[in-house]
């Protein structure tokens, strides 16, 4: 007797969003990346469509970072002083897109100027054909000053500018609107807060298909269950037809995992923790994959080995589609 | 243990205290008044005094500048006496008197068809005895009891020893004719319990009034109605600030204060003092009768659970500690002298039953007087105060919860917030193009601050004109000098300093807006959780009844615009004023109504929100203007579209 597999039929779907613009579209990218479009929960191929696989971004900085793990500094040591070379190396390592995180201060310890930020962004755009996400340093005033300059200097590239938060989003959204870019909207692990920020941003007139939402997460062992649950509920709401949650999700497991003691610390930890590098990569990989399973469309990573492993896993999960049909 | 001498305000006679005493405690001994709005937690900084001689140990100097400390200023509630000191106490801020008579007196109709013979538990009987002689040497008490039994049918009457003391003289003074007052509660088994309340010589006029009082002990205001139990007519309505305010503005501060040494007794005396004061005023206000406090023979009391504990002098400590269990929800009947009321010492004091720590007798009484327990319509009953208590139901069922809305709607926790008294801005209109406000001030003079209804109106106007976005952020891209960077972040100027009474700008800050958002979100989330708990959509509510004195000034339109009240047609909202005192009044008159309150208390299902995950979710969703789910507020959505509000930046 054939077994009838129960299927959930969802009325809603996630919006499809494209990052980057080809020369024919007014940009300079060699390829664009499209995310979203899901009509089912992650990898539930038998219930609906997962038209675009989750993608992996590699995070680079405009200069050598002060607070990154020595393991990461070692990995990128040949390119770490030049964002253009770093971007090219990230592309070679298999990144689907690049996240450039601007620093609050330049190499000399002075505040990063808008001109310096524009120069870094342009150098990265020249060095890679991948779409680009640009994060400000994370301080409202600096974010606004640097991102406005970057946005104006790269009009038409369909960058994603971040990070919009509920206390500081107007300036970033306004400049993204004026220069044909996207924004990322971050809220602290809460379904309602995520929805609220999306409403605030769309109230300003930015179409919903230019917003990526970042529901924030924690690393493995540091609250990832909570992040998982919030993302899962956001996706369930989207599939149930709640327009303000039907946005692709971007999360930063690299940033989170490399903050964890297990990745950051190599000495004075129990021997049973095993090899430091292996452990750190495992931490980042597992954090990222867990989030992919909860509905992340873009995961931002730092180590090339993690990128390789996460991409391989995504490929397998997508291949499961053929088993269904 | 060492003792020290503390001199206040250069008085000649110092008070002697043990080492480790706080200045506030010493002041109490010296009879000096020091206000402690936060209940002595050292949070509000309002109990500042100056130590002019000697030293104290300061546990905390919050809100004091280095210069203040240098000059000897300290927080009286945080300063430990460890030596002889002299203290100067600045003149204390007077607690502004509300316009009680003008604004809160309401016309009250007695219960239709009120028949005291059947409904009133206080009974008046005339008895005539044969005097004792050598043939019949029955003692006076037995003689009285025999007549109570044979003439009136009471097998057993509880007679307090203090009444026993005067039996013999009263019997003889009236020449063996007496009027006896009994409080008779019928019980389920058919044997009524009777308590003797008073015994007076001679026969009194059968139509003369029998005085009783209905009381609501509010955290902020105590209300008393003086009633003729014979006719049911309310002869005086009086209200006064609860004198406990000086020892904490909200219930939690009071509970903390009660935990301090001597605190409980002091709070009990303060509230009884307030009631006694009201009794005196009410007696004087009665026309055509001379009434003295001693003539009051029965008192029915409503109030929240904490107030009831403090009134009876019972430690309320566990009300604020998880799992939030009070000592009692229903107190036994007591006599006036047990708590120090100046009514007749044997007057029965009937404290009405509550449901839980944060749903007290004020709510059960309110449900009764609002008729929630007898209506076919799905009713939402709401009492807005520091705590938002709410009840959803009909005659079939009732569910209730209490959410801590905070004191924002009473003007506390808001920079220029104030109570609804003279000088308070009570309504605001903002021009949608110039962003210039117009406002109305209570009393018509210059403004001093903004009261709760003013804050709701202001927030609604700011939202509807785009001065703030849906998250309450001020829109800095609007061209108006009224939106500016203040000491505590962005703010909107409601009144420039040349318009105000105190010569300072009246503003609303981003922090104030957050406090208001939290308050309104807590209340709306409470509605949703109640509705979800019984599986009815909130929109199906057929009437919304709003009690509490604040409720009267609530503007429905503005309240819906900010998402405080559900988006229902305006005609479904009804403001009832003080429903608690009215419920107490009904219970005072009629035993049936009293029984109904007890039934309400026992049948109402209490939902503890702190143990309920759905509340947090609903709260976060409501922390938005008007709500994250805009489809719950269709009329607000339509109004926003109509007025074509542009949220765009320039």
Q: Which residue of A190, A196, A204 is in closest CB contact with B471? A: A196
Higher pLDDT, B470 or B548: B470
> For A113-127, B34-48, B159-173, which range has the lowest pLDDT when averaged over its residues?
B34-48
Position B106 scores a pLDDT of 66
Across the A:B interface, residue pairs with CB atoms under 8 Å apart total: 43
List pLDDT tens digits, range A214-246. 999 999 999 999 999 999 999 999 999 999 999
Domain A52-265+272-318 adopts which CATH fold?
TIM Barrel (3.20.20)
Position B550 scores a pLDDT of 66
Residue B58's DSSP bridge partners are: B79
Place of tokens 């003079």: B445
Residues B423, B448 contacting (CB under 8 angstroms):
yes
Q: Which residue of A167, A191, A196 is in closest CB contact with B624? A: A196
A237 Cβ under 8 Å from any chain B Cβ: no
A191 Cβ under 8 Å from any chain B Cβ: yes
pLDDT band for position B456 (50/70/90)?
Answer: very high
Helix (H, G, I), strand (E, B) or coil at B46: coil
Position B209 scores a pLDDT of 92
Distance from CA of A228 to the nearest CA of B (A): 16
Q: Considering only alpha carbons, which residue of chain B is nearest residue A170? A: B649
Strands (E) across chain A are located at: 16-19, 33-36, 55-61, 97-101, 132-135, 160-164, 182-186, 211-214, 250-251, 298-301
Q: Which residue of A190, A191, A200 is in closest CB contact with B471? A: A200
Average pLDDT, chain B: 89
Which CATH code fits B121-201?
3.10.20.880
Q: Considering only alpha carbons, which residue of chain A is nearest residue B626? A: A196
Q: d(Cα B554, Cα B457) in Å, to the nearest integer?
A: 9
Domain B211-351: what homologous superfamily? Answer: Domain of unknown function (DUF4445) (3.30.420.480)
Average pLDDT, chain A: 95
A178 Cβ under 8 Å from any chain B Cβ: no
Contact (CB<8Å) B621/A166? no
B positions 452-481 inside 8 Å of A (CB): 469-471, 473, 475-477
Residues of chain B with Cβ-Cβ distance to A165 below 8 Å are: none
pTM: 0.84
Position B404 scores a pLDDT of 80
Residues of chain B with Cβ-Cβ distance to A244 below 8 Å are: 628
Chosen from A193, A196, A206, A233 to mutate, greatest number of chain B CBs within 10 A: A196
Contact (CB<8Å) B628/A196? yes
Q: How many CB atoms lie within 10 A of CB B646?
A: 11
Residues B472, B456 contacting (CB under 8 angstroms):
no
Position B93 scores a pLDDT of 57
Domain B3-88 adopts which CATH fold?
Ubiquitin-like (UB roll) (3.10.20)
List pLDDT tens digits, range B499-513. 999 888 999 999 999
Residues 6+ apart with CB under 8 A from B567: B539, B560, B626, B632, B633, B634, B635, B636
Chosen from A167, A177, A183, A192 to mutate, greatest number of chain B CBs within 10 A: A192
Q: Are strands B605-606 and B398-404 parallel, antiparallel or unpaired?
A: parallel
Residues 6+ apart with CB under 8 A from B456: B409, B516, B520, B554, B555, B558, B559, B562, B564
Position B102 scores a pLDDT of 37
Position A314 scores a pLDDT of 97
Model confidence at A163: pLDDT above 70? yes
Q: d(Cα B372, Cα B246) in Å, to the nearest integer?
A: 35
Model confidence at B289: pLDDT above 60? yes
Position B61 scores a pLDDT of 79
Residue B489, phi-psi category: left (phi > 0), alpha (psi -120 to 50), beta (remainder): left
Q: d(Cα A40, Cα A321) in Å, to the nearest integer?
A: 12
Q: d(Cα B374, Cα A292) in Å, to the nearest integer?
A: 55
**Which one, of B393, B495, B354, B492, lies nearest residue B438 by Cα?**
B495
Position B493 scores a pLDDT of 97
Position B276 scores a pLDDT of 97
Q: Considering only alpha carbons, which residue of chain B is nearest residue A198? A: B628
Distance from CA of B627 to the nearest CA of A (A): 9
List pLDDT tens digits, range B50-75. 998 888 898 887 767 777 888 888 88
Residues B214, B585 contacting (CB under 8 angstroms):
yes
A193 Cβ under 8 Å from any chain B Cβ: yes
Q: Considering only alpha carbons, which residue of chain A is nearest residue B617? A: A192
Rounded to 5 degrees, φ, ψ at A296 are -65, 140
Q: d(Cα B523, Cα B456) in Å, to the nearest integer?
A: 13
Contact (CB<8Å) B621/A192? yes
**Which ranges constitute the DSSP H helices of B407-487?**
452-464
Q: Residue ranges of the domains in chain B?
A: 3-88, 121-201, 211-351, 366-407+519-639, 408-516
What distances in angstroms separate CA A295 from CA A19, A193, A194, A210, A230, one per listed residue? 18, 18, 15, 18, 10
List pLDDT tens digits, range B347-360. 999 999 999 999 99
Percent of residues, chain A, with pLDDT higher than 70? 99
∠A116-A121-A125 over CA atoms, to 5°?
A: 145
What distances in angstroms separate CA B425 from CA B202, B394, B420, B446, B499, one per listed residue? 58, 37, 8, 9, 12
Residues 6+ apart with CB under 8 A from A167: A140, B473
Q: d(Cα B338, Cα B319) in Å, to the nearest integer?
A: 23
Position B48 scores a pLDDT of 85
Q: d(Cα B324, Cα B355) in Å, to the nearest integer?
A: 12
Residues of chain B with Cβ-Cβ distance to A167 below 8 Å are: 473
Q: What is the DSSP letter of B93?
A: P
A positions 145-174 inside 8 Å of B (CB): 166-167, 170, 174
Residues B37, B244 contacting (CB under 8 angstroms):
no
Contact (CB<8Å) B620/A167? no
Q: What is the mean pLDDT of residues A21-49?
A: 96
Contact (CB<8Å) A199/B470? yes
B positions 581-620 inside 8 Å of A (CB): 617, 620
Contact (CB<8Å) B624/A199? yes
Percent of residues, chain B, with pLDDT higher than 70? 95
Q: Considering only alpha carbons, which residue of chain A is nearest residue B618? A: A192
Position B212 scores a pLDDT of 98
Give how far the C-alpha of residue A130 lies from the chain's centroid of Cα atoms, to the nearest Å: 14
Distance from CA of B384 to the nearest CA of A (A): 26
Chosen from A203, A240, A242 to mutate, greatest number of chain B CBs within 10 A: A203
Residue B327, phi-psi category: left (phi > 0), alpha (psi -120 to 50), beta (remainder): alpha
Q: d(Cα B588, Cα B361) in Å, to the nearest integer?
A: 14
Residues 6+ apart with CB under 8 A from A305: A281, A285
Position B100 scores a pLDDT of 43
Model confidence at B41: pLDDT above 90? no
Q: What is the mean pLDDT of residues B369-385?
A: 92
Residues B39, B247 contacting (CB under 8 angstroms):
yes
Q: Which residue of A167, A195, A203 is in closest CB contact with B628? A: A195
Q: d(Cα B529, Cα B516) in Å, to the nearest integer?
A: 20
What distances in angstroms separate CA A41 from CA A9, A47, B109, one per listed residue? 11, 8, 62
Residues of chain B with Cβ-Cβ distance to A197 below 8 Å are: 471
Q: Which residue of A167, A170, A191 is in closest CB contact with B649? A: A170
B644 Cβ under 8 Å from any chain A Cβ: no
Give how far the C-alpha of residue B224 lies from the chain's centroid of Cα atoms, to the nearest Å: 12
First to last CA, chain B: 72
**Which one, of B363, B626, B390, lies nearest residue B520 by Cα?**
B626
Position A325 scores a pLDDT of 52
A positions 52-91 inside 8 Å of B (CB): none
Helix (H, G, I), strand (E, B) or coil at B500: coil
Position B98 scores a pLDDT of 46
Q: Which residue of B469, B477, B648 is in closest CB contact with A200? A: B469
Q: Which residue of B469, B477, B648 is in closest CB contact with A205? A: B648
Of the options 3.40.190, 3.30.420, 1.10.3470, 3.30.390, the CATH number for the domain spanning B366-407+519-639: 3.30.420
Residues of chain A with Cβ-Cβ distance to B471 below 8 Å are: 166, 196-197, 200
Residues B462, B441 contacting (CB under 8 angstroms):
no
Distance from CA of A213 to the nearest CA of B (A): 16
B637 Cβ under 8 Å from any chain A Cβ: no
A25 Cβ under 8 Å from any chain B Cβ: no
Position B94 scores a pLDDT of 53
Residues of chain A with Cβ-Cβ distance to B621 below 8 Å are: 192
B485 Cβ under 8 Å from any chain A Cβ: no
Helix (H, G, I), strand (E, B) or coil at B565: coil
Do B3-88 and B211-351 have matching folds?
no
Position A303 scores a pLDDT of 98
Token pair for A61: 């900085």
A322 Cβ under 8 Å from any chain B Cβ: no
Q: What is the mean pLDDT of residues B238-261?
A: 90
Residues of chain B with Cβ-Cβ distance to A188 below 8 Å are: none
Model confidence at B287: pLDDT above 60? yes
Q: Considering only alpha carbons, which residue of chain A is nearest residue B473? A: A167
List pLDDT tens digits, range B631-648. 999 999 998 887 655 444
Distance from CA of B647 to the nearest CA of A (A): 5
Q: d(Cα A171, Cα A151) in Å, to the nearest integer?
A: 11
A232 Cβ under 8 Å from any chain B Cβ: no
Residues of chain B with Cβ-Cβ distance to A166 below 8 Å are: 471, 473
């Amino acid at each position: 007797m054939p077994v009838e597999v129960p299927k959930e039929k969802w009325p809603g779907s996630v919006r499809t969003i494209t990052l980057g613009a080809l020369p024919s579209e007014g940009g300079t990218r060699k390829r664009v990346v499209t995310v979203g479009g899901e009509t089912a929960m992650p990898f539930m191929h038998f219930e609906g469509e997962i038209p675009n696989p989750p993608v992996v971004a590699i995070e680079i900085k405009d200069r050598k970072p002060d607070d990154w793990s020595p393991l990461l500094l070692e990995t990128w040591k040949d390119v770490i002083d030049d964002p253009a070379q770093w971007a090219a190396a990230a592309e070679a390592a298999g990144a689907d897109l690049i996240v450039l995180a601007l620093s609050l201060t330049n190499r000399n310890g002075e505040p990063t100027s808008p001109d310096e930020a524009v120069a870094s962004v342009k150098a990265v755009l020249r060095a890679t054909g991948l779409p680009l996400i640009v994060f400000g340093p994370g301080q409202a005033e600096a974010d606004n000053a640097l991102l406005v300059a970057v946005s104006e200097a790269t009009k038409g590239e369909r960058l994603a500018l971040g990070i919009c938060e509920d206390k500081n989003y107007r300036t970033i959204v306004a400049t993204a609107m004026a220069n044909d870019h996207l924004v990322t909207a971050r809220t602290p692990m809460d379904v309602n807060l995520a929805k609220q920020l999306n409403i605030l941003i769309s109230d300003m007139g930015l179409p919903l298909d230019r917003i990526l939402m970042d529901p924030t997460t924690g690393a493995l062992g540091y609250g990832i269950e909570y992040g998982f649950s919030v993302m899962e509920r956001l996706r369930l709401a989207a599939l149930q037809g709640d327009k303000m949650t039907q946005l692709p999700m971007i999360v930063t497991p690299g940033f989170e995992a490399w903050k964890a003691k297990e990745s950051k610390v190599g000495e004075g930890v129990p021997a049973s923790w095993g090899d430091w590098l292996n452990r750190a990569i495992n931490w980042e990989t597992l954090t990222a994959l867990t989030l992919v399973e909860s509905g992340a469309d873009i995961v931002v990573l730092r180590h090339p080995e993690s990128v390789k492993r996460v991409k391989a896993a995504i490929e397998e999960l997508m291949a499961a589609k053929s088993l269904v049909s | 243990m060492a003792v020290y001498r503390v001199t206040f305000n250069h008085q000649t006679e110092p008070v002697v205290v043990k080492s480790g005493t706080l200045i506030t405690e010493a002041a109490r001994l010296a009879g000096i008044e020091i206000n402690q709005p936060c209940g002595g937690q050292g949070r509000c900084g309002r109990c500042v005094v100056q130590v002019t001689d000697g030293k104290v140990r300061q546990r905390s100097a919050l809100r004091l500048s280095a210069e203040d400390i240098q000059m000897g200023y300290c927080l009286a509630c945080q300063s430990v006496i460890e030596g002889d000191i002299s203290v100067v106490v600045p003149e204390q801020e007077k607690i502004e008197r509300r316009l009680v008579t003008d604004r809160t007196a309401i016309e009250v109709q007695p219960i239709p068809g009120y028949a005291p013979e059947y409904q009133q538990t206080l009974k008046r009987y005339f008895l005539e005895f044969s005097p004792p002689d050598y043939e019949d040497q029955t003692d006076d008490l037995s003689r009285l009891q025999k007549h109570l039994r044979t003439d009136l049918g009471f097998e057993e009457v509880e007679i307090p020893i203090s009444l026993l003391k005067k039996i013999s003289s009263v019997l003889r003074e009236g020449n063996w004719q007496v009027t006896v007052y009994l409080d008779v509660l019928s019980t389920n088994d058919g044997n009524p319990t009777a308590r003797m309340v008073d015994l007076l010589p001679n026969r009194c006029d059968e139509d003369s009034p029998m005085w009783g009082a209905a009381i609501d002990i509010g955290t902020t205001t105590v209300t008393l109605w003086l009633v003729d139990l014979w006719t049911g007519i309310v002869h005086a309505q009086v209200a006064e600030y609860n004198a406990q305010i000086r020892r904490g503005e909200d219930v939690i501060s009071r509970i903390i204060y009660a935990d301090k040494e001597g605190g409980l007794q002091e709070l009990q005396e303060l509230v009884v003092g307030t009631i006694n004061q009201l009794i005196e005023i009410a007696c004087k206000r009665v026309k055509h009768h001379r009434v003295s406090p001693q003539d009051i023979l029965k008192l029915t009391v409503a109030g929240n659970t904490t107030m009831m504990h403090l009134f009876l002098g019972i430690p309320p400590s566990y009300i604020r500690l998880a799992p939030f269990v009070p000592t009692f929800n229903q107190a036994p009947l007591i006599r006036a002298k047990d708590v120090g009321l100046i009514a007749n010492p044997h007057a029965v004091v009937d404290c009405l039953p509550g449901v839980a720590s944060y749903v007290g007798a004020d709510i059960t009484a309110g449900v009764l007087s609002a008729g929630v327990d007898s209506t076919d319509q799905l009713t939402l009953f709401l009492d807005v105060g520091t705590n938002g208590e709410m009840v959803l139901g009909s005659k079939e069922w009732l569910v209730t919860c209490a959410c801590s809305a905070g004191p924002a709607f009473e003007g506390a926790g808001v920079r220029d917030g104030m109570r609804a008294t003279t000088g308070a801005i009570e309504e605001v209109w903002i021009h949608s193009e110039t962003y210039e406000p117009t406002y109305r001030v209570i009393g018509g003079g210059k403004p001093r601050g903004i009261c709760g209804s003013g804050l709701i109106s202001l927030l609604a106007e700011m939202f509807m004109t785009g001065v703030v976005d849906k998250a309450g952020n001020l829109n800095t891209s609007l061209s108006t000098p009224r939106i500016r960077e203040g000491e505590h972040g962005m703010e909107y100027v409601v009144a420039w300093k040349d318009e105000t009474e105190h010569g300072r700008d009246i503003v609303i800050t981003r922090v104030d807006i957050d406090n208001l958002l939290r308050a309104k979100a807590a209340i709306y989330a409470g509605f949703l959780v109640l509705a979800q708990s019984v599986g009815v959509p909130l929109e199906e509510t057929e009437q919304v009844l709003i009690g509490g004195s604040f409720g009267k000034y609530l503007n429905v339109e503005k309240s819906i615009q900010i998402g405080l009240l559900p988006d229902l047609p305006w005609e479904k909202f009804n403001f009832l004023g003080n429903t608690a005192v009215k419920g107490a009044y009904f219970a005072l008159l009629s035993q049936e109504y009293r029984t109904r309150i007890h039934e309400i208390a026992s049948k109402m299902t209490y939902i503890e929100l702190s143990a309920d995950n759905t509340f947090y979710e609903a709260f976060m969703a409501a922390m938005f203007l008007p709500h994250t789910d805009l489809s719950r507020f269709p009329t607000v959505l339509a109004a926003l579209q109509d007025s074509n509000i542009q949220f765009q930046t320039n």
